[in-house]
Amino acid sequence: MIAIALRQRAKFEGWLKFELASMAERHGAQDVEVEASPVRGSSLSKSDLALRFKGIRYDIELKTSNSNWRMPGVLNRTRPITLNIAGIVRDAKKLRETSENGLVAFVLFPIPPRDRRWLEYLERIANELSIPLREEDHSSRLRITLGVGNEADLIVATFPVSGSFNDRAQVSLGN
């Protein structure tokens, strides 16, 4: 399924919300809600996913951000990656205002195998949010077979946007 999205540069955030919600419940999360109203802030500002784990509520913003790098096996469509990155930053700032324990998770795709240009976007996010983000601590890289001998990578990155998050729990999207 992911290969189809990568080949077409098609976003899959809606599907991802429900997959993560289901996984969270299987791992003991309670009060799992998609498009949840925040504890603080405007009712117009909903998080993509909220859950309670070990008594602590977490609000999660998800983004599936497609790139514009050309590669074999992927449709050549112009996608404004800079607008996608701006959306990640905007959602992170929203979480700072509305959640005590906010987490941003994004998928950046498709990435040419072993290409490291995506790190400039991780750095841009870190700079705009004034938080330290390191490839080793905040991202995983997955290789996806696209068919007919072609492959592309995708990056899954996560980071907290509130100080209390790091002190209370470790959340991993895992494989």
For residue 93, what pLDDT is reported?
93
CA dist 45 and 53 (Å) reads 22
| Extended strands (E) in the chain | 30-36, 47-53, 56-66, 102-111, 139-147, 150-160
Length of the chain: 175
For residue 60, what pLDDT is reported?
96
Does residue 23 belong to any structural domain of this protein? yes
Overall domain count for the chain: 1
Assigned token pair, 109: 């795709």
Tens of pLDDT along the chain (175 residues) come to 899 999 999 999 999 999 999 999 999 999 999 998 876 655 557 899 999 999 999 999 999 999 999 999 999 877 688 899 999 999 999 898 888 899 999 999 999 999 999 999 999 999 999 999 999 999 999 999 998 899 999 999 999 997 443 333 344 434 3
CA dist 136 and 169 (Å) reads 18
Does residue 126 belong to any structural domain of this protein? yes
- Residue 61 CB burial class (10 angstroms; 0-12, 13-18, ≥19): buried
For residue 98, what pLDDT is reported?
86
Does residue 32 belong to any structural domain of this protein? yes
CA dist 9 and 12 (Å) reads 9
For residue 42, what pLDDT is reported?
55
For residue 46, what pLDDT is reported?
85
In sequence order, which residues have a C-beta less than 8 Å from that of residue 102 and are 6 or more positions away?
Answer: 47, 58, 59, 60, 61, 92, 95, 96, 160, 161, 162, 165
CA dist 75 and 122 (Å) reads 24
CA dist 43 and 36 (Å) reads 9
For residue 78, what pLDDT is reported?
74
Does residue 174 belong to any structural domain of this protein? no
Expressed as residue numbers, the domain containing 60 is 2-168
Does residue 175 belong to any structural domain of this protein? no
